[in-house]
Structures are given as structure tokens and as C-alpha cells.
Structure 1
Amino acid sequence: MQRRARKAYVPGLAALLVALVAGCTADTGTEGSAIDSKTGGTKTAAAPPGKYRTLREPCGSIGRSTLKDLLPGAAELPDDQQQKIFRGTADVTYDTDRRVGCSWNADSPDASHHLTLDFERVVSYDTAVSDDDRAQEVFATKQAAASLPAPADTGPEKGQGSSPSTTPSQSKPPTGSAPPTGTPSGSATPSGSDPLAGLEPRVLDGLGDAAFLNDVLDGAGAGSTAQRRTVSVVFRTSNVIVTIVYVEQPARTTEVPDSKELQEKAQSLAGRLAEEFSD
């Protein structure tokens, strides 16, 4: 009697176990579907980070020979004064991985010069926007603030992140700023030609991922009749924006700083820095 009851019980237990296993398998599939529906099925990959995670030290980014060229007269000073000028003054910053800067000042009998260098590393806090794209947005804001002349229309296809250089005959300096001067010393300007051709504030090609130059001539300040010229070169390389500001104020009120010379020096420095960032 007991043996027969045992034989009848075992098949029933086996059937119960099979049902439980099948139920667990079904529940697992349902639970997985519920999870997928909450997360949207597949996750979107985050935008890539920028190339640069740190910044160069700005005060040491310009060689002594370059500083001597940009700050004429400093090399004639005593050694201790030269050291102080060429060492530069670092900007106060609270995060040297995000923004750093340095400035240099030098006076000579003929003119005073001021140079500033600023490095800004842009980081996007939107996972859908890359650091490079966010840096381009910041750069575009700076370019818009410079009020550069509108570029000539070159058709529907234009370089990404950079506009073609302006055509001198179709553009004028920004409103509120005097036109730059750039006629080389000792050269005559042909009648009817534009002595400012090619020296207007403009977009620059071949410098980083995008670049522009601004040139402003204004008074040196209240009560002063001296003319001061400020040339700025701003360029972006990946997620870093570099800003160079070069200022000259002649000692004589009758003199006007040479736009061509200042622009060439500022662009030359920008080119060296762009190459160093690319290394």
C-alpha cells in the first residue's frame, strides 16, 4: 500500500516542478521587457570628449626672442627689469585646467606695448553635445561680439567652422572703430587704391579649426590725444580657445600705430601657438 502511494506521488511532484520552472522562465522574459521599455530600448552613446584635458602654462608659452620682438625696448633695460618684464604676470584663476592667462607690459621712448594671452578649455555638460561642438559655440559668440564685416557670398558650400576671408572692397571696419592703417613706411599709395586692403577685421584661414582677427584704433583714454591700436587674434583648436591681444600706443600724439606690423606679429605668434597645441 505505501509503495503504490509513493509511485503515484513522484510523477505529480515532477509535473509541479516543470510548471514552476516554466513560470520562472516566463516571468524573466516579462521583467526584461519592462526594463527595456523604461530605458527606451537602447542607450544613446555620449558625445566624445575634447582632445585637451589640461592647458599649457601661458607665461612660459612664448619664447624670449619672440617677446623681445613684441615688446621693443625691453631688451635695452637692466637685466633685473628684463627678467621681470619677460616673466609676465599670470592671471588669477581658480581652475588652471579650465582657464589660464598671462600679460606682459613694456615701455620704450617711442611707444608702450601690452600683450595678453588667454587659454580657455571648453567642457560640455550636455552628454549629447561634444566638447568640440560646445567650444565652437563659444568661439562663434566671441566672433559675433567682434562685429566683423559680413563675408562675401561664395555660394552654398562653405568650410565648416570657418567662413571665407572677406573681400576688402566689400567690407568696412566695425562701426565705432577707426579704420586701421597699414601703408608700409616709405611706399607710395597709388591713386584710387585702398591702403587698408587686406588689413580689415576678418576671418582667418589656416589657423586652428577656426580663427578671426580684429583691429581697433581708438584714443588712449580720457584726457589723452594719443592713438592706441588693439589687434586681437582668436582661434580654436578642438576644445581650446586661444586669445591674443596686442596693443601699441606711440609716445607721440601725431603718430598712429602701424596696423600691418601689429597684425603680422600677432598672427605669427598665433601660428606658433597653434603648432604647439597640435604637437
Structure 2
Amino acid sequence: MQRRANAYASGTAVALLSVLGLTALTGCSGSSGTPGAASDAKPGSGVAAAAAPGKYRTLREACRTVGRSTLKDLLPGAAELPADQQRKAYAGTAAVTYDTDRRVGCRWQADSPSASHRLVIDFERVVSYDAEVSDEDRAQEVYAAKQAGARLPVAEDPRGDKASPSAGGSGSAPSSRGASATGAASGAPAAGKASPPAGGEEDEGLEPRVLDDLGDSAFLDDQLARAGSTAQSRTVSVVFRTSNVIVTVQYAEQPALVTEVPDSKELQEKARGLARKLNEQING
């Protein structure tokens, strides 16, 4: 009887030691305690480092980014309106968005007996949901899709080979990683298909082109169109990226007379001037 009791006690002790040993082994081989370590880790490697977040976390109120003096210059017809309508014209109309930390925009318009002018600005703060892609890299992909959609003329290099679109400086080539899909889904004012400005030799150098003096990447598009029997309307679009924010400026003019053509140089200078001011605000 005593021998059977000793055997039972020995077996219990062995089983208990086995359980304790298994528990200790499990504790040593588990997670290091770093939040998200298991989800970020790759097979056969250590914990993957998350890509850097974007420089900008918020956006300004779009309708307050353009000063009254600038609006007076871009919307000459507003000065001829009654006081209450003038205030409304300069206040602008905010774009409908569902997250003002991610997307904001504003639209202004003023008509006069000689011409109608329209200004639209759009700010998009890009956020990457891929732990391996930074917000800035993702923003460059979205920007590249917009540039590709504009179909800027391809310049010839001195050797006779086709170069990347660049009539005015450097610009990043469109990224192949999801560029077309992100451009279609971005919802920003579309730059559209490039249409060289009309008017002859005086328009040389004013064609749609990449810009090298604005933000991290930038391009300009110039569209001349006729809507039915009305006068020709010209729309100049300037799109630029600064870190993880993409800004689009659209400035359009439609003369009252069918025989008149909006001046490409004047519209481009005003659109680029506003874009530079917005870039300074963002980085100020």
C-alpha cells in the first residue's frame, strides 16, 4: 500500500514538473510585448518598421486661403456687384467633403459685361494605409496619376529620344504602383486632356508642361474649349505636391464676345502666382 502511494506521488510530481516546464517554454517563445509586433512581422524576419507619417496632419479652411486683394485681381467682375452680392462672391462656396482633415476646397465666380471668371482650389492630404509606404510616397503616386492624366506633351532630348514630360523643369514620372486607380478615385478637379493654347507664335512656351519652381512636383495644363455657340473658355490648371498634400488651382475665363479668345499668358501667370502663395501658406 505504501509502495502504491509513493508511485502515485512520484507520477503527480512528474506531471506537475512537465506542466511547469511547458508553461515556462511557452512564455519564452511568445511576443516581445511590442504592440502590433505580431501583425507587422514578416515570416523569417524581425518586426517591420512602419513607414514615416506625413508632414501635414490637418488642412486649412479653403475659402479663407485666398486674400481679398488676390480675389479682386482674379475676379474683376465682383467689384461691379452690389455690396451684398460682392461679399458673397468674395466669400466663395466651400466644397462638400466628409473629412475636412483629408479634403477641402472652395469655388468663386464673378460675371461682368465683358467676361466671366471662375476660380476653384482643392487641397488633398494623402494618407497611406500601407505600413510599408509613407504618406509622402503615396501622395507622389496620386500626384503622378494626375500628371499622367493631363497627357502633357513629351519633350525630345538632344539625342532625339523621347524624354519625360518637362517643358519647364523636373518632375517625377508616374509610379506604376496603383497610380491610375488612385487618380481616378481621388475626386480632385480633373486636369483633362492637354490642349495647346491657341493664338500662334505668341503662345510659344505656354503649352501644358511640368513646372520646376513650385513645391516638390508640379505641372500646368491649359485648356481652350468652346461650349456650343458661346464664346471660347480657357481653363488653366496648376497642380502641385508638397510632402503629403496635393493642391489643385483652376482658373477660367470666358469672354462675353464669341470673337474673343482668353489670353493664355495672363491666366497662367495669375494661376501660378496664386499657387505660389498657397505653397508659401502651407509651408509657412
Q: TM-score per shorter chain, which class? A: 0.7 to 0.9
Partner of 2:9 in structure 1? Answer: none
Cα distance change on mapping 1:182 and 1:233 into 2, 3 Å: farther
- Partner SS, residue 29 of structure 2: helix
Partner of 1:68 in structure 2? Answer: 72
1:53 is aligned with what amino acid?
Answer: R
Structural RMSD (CA): 3.3
- Aligned 1:56-205 pairs, distance under 5 A: 56-153=60-157, 164-165=166-167, 178-181=195-198, 194-205=201-212
Partner of 1:273 in structure 2? Answer: 278
> How far does residue 206 in structure 1 lie from its aligned partner after superposition?
1.6
> How far does residue 125 in structure 1 lie from its aligned partner after superposition?
0.5
Partner of 1:13 in structure 2? Answer: none
Cα distance change on mapping 1:154 and 1:89 into 2, 3 Å: farther
> How far does residue 277 in structure 1 lie from its aligned partner after superposition?
0.6
Deviation readout 1:42-89 (Å, 9 max, x if unpaired):
211100010111111000000000000000121122211110000000
1:207 to 194, 214, 222: 214
- Aligned-pair identity in percent equals 62
- Partner SS, residue 252 of structure 2: strand
1:255 is aligned with what amino acid?
Answer: E
Cα distance change on mapping 1:154 and 1:122 into 2, 3 Å: farther
Cα distance change on mapping 1:225 and 1:43 into 2, 3 Å: same
Provide the rounded CA distance (Å) in 2 between the counterparts of 1:130 and 1:227: 43
2:232 is aligned with what amino acid?
Answer: Q
Deviation readout 1:67-126 (Å, 9 max, x if unpaired):
000001211222111100000001111111111111001001110001101011111010
> How far does residue 205 in structure 1 lie from its aligned partner after superposition?
0.6
Provide the rounded CA distance (Å) in 1 between the counterparts of 2:224 and 2:42: 60
- Partner SS, residue 125 of structure 1: coil
Runs of at least 5 residues in structure 1 that lack an aligned partner in the other structure:
1-15, 156-161, 168-173, 184-193
Cα distance change on mapping 1:128 and 1:176 into 2, 3 Å: closer
Provide the rounded CA distance (Å) in 2 between the counterparts of 1:113 and 1:275: 24
2:29 is aligned with what amino acid?
Answer: G
2:263 to 231, 237, 258: 258
**In 2, are the aligned partners of 1:235 and 1:243 still within 8 Å (CA)?**
yes
> How far does residue 29 in structure 1 lie from its aligned partner after superposition?
9.3
Please identify, of 32-41 and 54-63, the stretch whose mean Cα deviation from structure 2 is larger. Answer: 32-41
**In 2, are the aligned partners of 1:119 and 1:243 still within 8 Å (CA)?**
yes
- Partner SS, residue 73 of structure 1: helix
Partner of 1:225 in structure 2? Answer: 230
Pair 1:55 & 2:59 matched: yes
- Partner SS, residue 203 of structure 2: coil
Partner of 1:241 in structure 2? Answer: 246
